[in-house]
Structures are given as structure tokens and as C-alpha cells.
Amino acid sequence: MNICLSSRMAYDYTKNREERPDPVKADLKGNLPSWLQGTLLRNGPGIFSVGDTTYNHWFDGMALMHSFTFEDGEVIYRSRYLRGDTYKDNMAAKRIVVSEMGTMAYPDPGKNVISRVITFLNHTVPDFTDNCGNNFIRYGKDYYATSETNYIRKVDPATLETQDKVDYLKYLAVNLVTSHPHYDKDGTAYNMGTSIAEKGKTKYTLFKVPDTTAGDKANASPALKNLEVICTVPCRSLLSPSYYHSFGMTDNYFIFIEQPFKLDILKMATAYMRGVNWASCMKFCPEENTLIHLIDRKTGKAVGIKYYTEAMIVYHHVNAFEEDGHVIFDVIAYEDPSLYNMFYLNVLKEQSKTSVMSVPKCKRFALPVQTDKGIDVGDDMVKLQYTTASAVKEKEGKLLCQPEVLCDGVELPRINYDFNGKKYRFVYMTCVAMSAVATKIMKFDTETKERTEWREENCWPSEPVFIPRPNGEGEDDGVVLTTVINSNPGESGFILVLDAKSFKEVARAYVNAELHKDMHGYFIPKEE
């Protein structure tokens, strides 16, 4: 099933946005809960052209961070560009000189031969960008802007000022790292990255970064100094590692999906001289299966059962939990890689054409972890009554896993993170049923399959972020925050506060500044 995106939208994806580094008090309508104290950080692209050069893809735009601080019944807004090396080099040259995934940058024709040779070598073994415009992550006491390269940038969450540049490669041999880590109650962060041909091997590495906020202050920053490798997983294709954007975690297991959406390393090494971008070096192999790795957190070893399913592409895990000898995990899955192509700027700005992408589906998988001894080939090993997901035994100890589709036309899932890795009921998502761009958000009940939606004419809400009420009762006791692009005449954008139980509006705060579409966000409670 495919859906069409008519690009006739009021939002201009190609327009460079202005930063507002000085604090701006928002115009509040309604009453904020007194317990809502803290800062919502959000990140996304904001500059799409420099001089006479332009980015090809919306994801490539230079990172524009913004924040909403809730304090004593008021909302304060500010935004600031991430001033990393990429930003500084592009601005100094007055043209785009640092390559991004969807845009290959070439030197000014006036540059000398030596400069061109250096540029070529930097693209043969890519020195990736530090344009960290996808999300924010926390390691120890520090907060970082992140994308998926080996570089992250420390930022001041209060002022959004750019601070240290941190290279994962100084602590671990990984060239690509996800921007969606997990966190334990004690503050330990878990993440994973890909090592490209390190000592002749291409592998995936799971690692953890212990919390340092309560420890020795001298060793507190950067917390990556205390990084510990949990395990490595070899790639099934030496020169074509799987692309992944996130992974799952329960109390006892990690879930890693090795999907047939791959980076062709040899093609990436020659992309610059062939005049193509790195994104063109990603290949989807629909004839291949998707492997599901279930890794024991204590031993760092994969369980003995081999799980697989049909070809699919997953960007976002929703949640995972354990019950009655099973690991259950939910993901947003696509049939093909068309989502990425939807965000090329020439596609987004074409007014008269439509583009097609597959419908994203929220799928639930159930992995039996008990031994398959005594189970006949062809038998379904899933014994849970509340899901239609199956895991059929095949020869050689393999299990063919078929998911239950919980709902479709959804993306950017968020949950009450207190329930991360545990059995949960509610998930908050954007609705993208008719386009890759959300026009509404919803609360979804995974038990009853009930959908409760919020929408408003000519408004485009962002990823909905759940904030729990301190000492709250129940999984949905809290509020949901979403920033809203508002194209109604004479009205400004706003941050919307919804009661999570009823999904009804509690308050909104209009911002006297131009809000921009972004990707992901992170809420920092005031006590942190």
C-alpha cells in the first residue's frame, strides 16, 4: 500500500530560518500545571542555502536548536544555530563546503590543486560532518547535539551555546552512532554504533556510558572517558553494514534489527569522484530477510535462537518488554526506503506533483526465548493471548517471525519513559497517513487499539513528547508537549500542552518568533 504526498503546503522547506538567541517570553493561553518545570530542547535543520549553493535534502540543513523553558507558570523561548566546524567552514567560505548524506560538496573552482586533493582524500575515507541536527542526548552530566556520525557537539542546555566537539573515535572505533540511546534509572546511557572495516572487520558495537553526575567531579566530563563495550555483532555482509536509526532494550535484553537496508562501503569511497551523494550508496535488498538479534544484557551474547522476518525498514523503535518467556517489541516499519526520498527539497517544493511513499505501520513482534526442544517444525511458539504475532519454527533452529499490525500511518513514537523496557499501554505519535508531514498527533492505546487525536486547521505539530507528573498515578498521568507550525493568517506558532489522559488542551504558548520544523527533542526536568 502506498500513500501520495501532495506537496502543496504552506510551509517552505527551503527557506533559511532566523535564530532568536535572546530569551523571548511566550504569550500563554490557559494554565500550566504547577509541577511542569524544565526545558524542552528540540533540534532540526534550519539553513538550506549558503551563497549560491544549496543542500539537496532537508535532513542536510544546518542544525537550528530551540528550547522552551517552563518555569513558574511561564514559557521562555530561544533558538540558536549549532556553531560547529561545519557551520563555521560553510559560513567562512560563503558556500557549502562540507558534505552531508544527501549533498556532496565540492571545492570552490578557484581552489588550488593541493586543496582539491585533500578534499578528495577526505571523501574517500569520509571525515563526516559535525552538523548534529537530529536529536539531543545525555552522557553523564553533559548534553550533546547529535546526528548519526562519529561527531557530537556539547551544548549548554540553558543558552544553547555550542561547546566542545567530541569524537566517538577517541573512545571507541565507531564511524556511525545512533541518535536514540537508552537510559537506565541510574543514569547509565546505552547506545550502539557501526565500525566500518576496523582491522578488516565491519561490525556493530553496543556500549554503555555510566553516569558521572554523582561521582568524582574531576572525571565527570566527558563521561565518554568511562565508556564500556558490552558486545559486538559481526555484519552479515562485510562491506555492506545495515543502516539503523535506533534499537530496543528491556530489563534483560537488547533488540537489534539488522535490516536489508545497507551502506555500500565501496560505493561510498568512490562517491565523491563519481559525482554522487552518499545517500545514493544506500541499497535496499527486498529479496533478503531481516535478522533480529536478541542479546543478553548480562552476558553480552546473542541467545541461541535465530529470529528473522521479511524485508522491512525500521527507523524508530517504540518500546520493548518481557512477558511469560517472550520478548515483545514494537517498531514503526516501512516496506521500502521511499521515506528518505520524500524529503529531497526538490520533491518538497514541487507544487504540482505528487510523490509516493509506503505507509508506515506500527508492528508488534513476539520473540519466544524458551528452548525449542520438543517443538515441531511448522509450529507457532508464541503463547501469548493478546497478540496475533507469531514465531514459526523452521529447520536449523530458525524462527520466522510475523508481526501484528497495531496501527498504521504513524511516526515519531514517544512513550512514558518510566515504562521503557517494561510492559506499557500508551504511545504518542504523529499521524502521517496522507503525507510524510504530520498534520495531527495521536495517543494510541496498544490494548484497546483506540486512537485519540489532536489536530487544528493549517497547523503542523511536531513529535509529541510525554512528560510524567512527579509521583503520578498511572502510565498516562502527565502532559504531552508538541511544537506547532501555524500558518493561519495573523497567528504565530506555539507550543501545545495536552493532558495526556484525556488528550485535551491544557494550554498553549504563542511564540513571537518563527518556529521551524524539527526532528526530535529531549526534556530536562528543572532539578537536573
Burial of 33 (0-12, 13-18, 19+ CB in 10 A): middle
Contact yes or no for 479/465 (Cβ under 8 A): no
Report how far residue 362's alpha carbon sits from residue 42's, in angstroms, rounded to the nearest whole number: 24
Report how far residue 400's alpha carbon sits from residue 311's, in angstroms, rounded to the nearest whole number: 12
- H helix intervals, 37-104: 85-93
DSSP string, 123-179: HHTT-------SEEEEETTEEEEE-SBSEEEEE-TTT--EEEEEEGGGTS--SEE-S
Q: Grid coordinates standing for 62?
A: 544546518
Identify the DSSP state of 248.
E
The answer to whether 316 is annotated as binding is yes
Q: Grid coordinates standing for 289?
A: 530477510
Report how far residue 78's alpha carbon sits from residue 66's, in angstroms, rounded to the nearest whole number: 6
The answer to whether 293 is annotated as binding is no
Contact yes or no for 401/309 (Cβ under 8 A): yes
What are the residues facing 355 on neighbouring strands? 5
Instruction: Give phi and psi for 314, each to the nearest 5.
Output: -120, 130
Report how far residue 275's alpha carbon sits from residue 126's, in angstroms, rounded to the nearest whole number: 15
Q: Is 72 left (phi over 0), alpha (psi -120 to 50) or beta?
A: left
The answer to whether 66 is annotated as binding is no
Query: Residues annotated as binding site?
Result: 180, 245, 316, 520
Query: Residues annotated as binding site for Fe cation?
Result: 180, 245, 316, 520
